[in-house]
Amino acid sequence: MFRFASQAVKPAVSRLPTAISLPRTTTPILTRLYSTHKELKFGVEGRAALLKGVDILAKAVAVTLGPKGRHVLIEQSYGSPKITKDGVTVAKSIVLQDRFENLGARLVQDVANKTNEVAGDGTTTATVLARAIFTEGVKNVAAGCNPMDLRRGVQLAVDAVVKFLKENSRVITTTHEVAQVN
């Protein structure tokens, strides 16, 4: 119990009846009262919203790419703003107001997070590649391509690139060899 302005006020939660103690006739009303509606988007409208979110996040992260990449200023809820050139930090800081655009941004955030966990670097490159793959995928689906066939094709391409890199890579062991890397 809380005291407010010399009155005894019980928390609102304690005044609500539990679903178990309610008669069956009021249960559907209680269910409708507490359920939330889901907004759904399909087809072109849904893909466009996701693509917009992917583009917004990727544009913010892409400026940090490479040795001449620029810094990004991130507003924080506490203290002074943060200045960073780290792609995953920029990606994590982005939350979009539109729910569907934010879903697209979160897809690419997951790419950056996974890259950071596995490799520790290359998050900006992974983000830029994810945007390119997603953009081309949306174009192909809009042109009538089967999304599952498209996914299989992307996976085959990834497997071919990984195989090529493994076959053409060589182990560097000395500092002299490290100095020769361009």
Each domain of the chain, given as residue ranges in start order, spans 43-145
Q: Please provide the CATH number assigned to the domain covering 43-145.
A: 1.10.560.10
pLDDT confidence of residue 126: 95
> Chain-wide mean pLDDT for the chain?
84
Query: Which of these ranges, 8-22, 24-38, 127-141, has the smallest mean pLDDT?
Result: 8-22
Q: Encode pLDDT of 111-131 as tens digits.
A: 999 999 999 889 999 999 999
A 10 A CB-CB count for 70 gives 10
DSSP state of 5: T
Residue 13 scores a pLDDT above 80: no
Q: What is the pLDDT of residue 181?
A: 78
Query: What does each C-alpha distance from 102 to 5, 53, 80 come to in angstroms?
Result: 42, 6, 25
Cα–Cα distances in angstroms (integers) from residue 36 to residues 33, 86, 103, in the given order: 8, 37, 18
Instruction: Judge whether 150 and 156 are in contact, CB under 8 Å.
Output: no
Lowest mean pLDDT among 28-32, 82-86, 91-95, 153-157: 28-32
> Any idea what DSSP says for residue 143?
T
**Contact in structure between 88 and 116 (CB atoms under 8 Å):** yes
Q: How large a percentage of the chain has pLDDT more than 70? A: 79
Whether residue 89 has pLDDT greater than 70: yes
Q: How confident is the model at residue 33 (pLDDT cuts 50, 70, 90)?
A: low
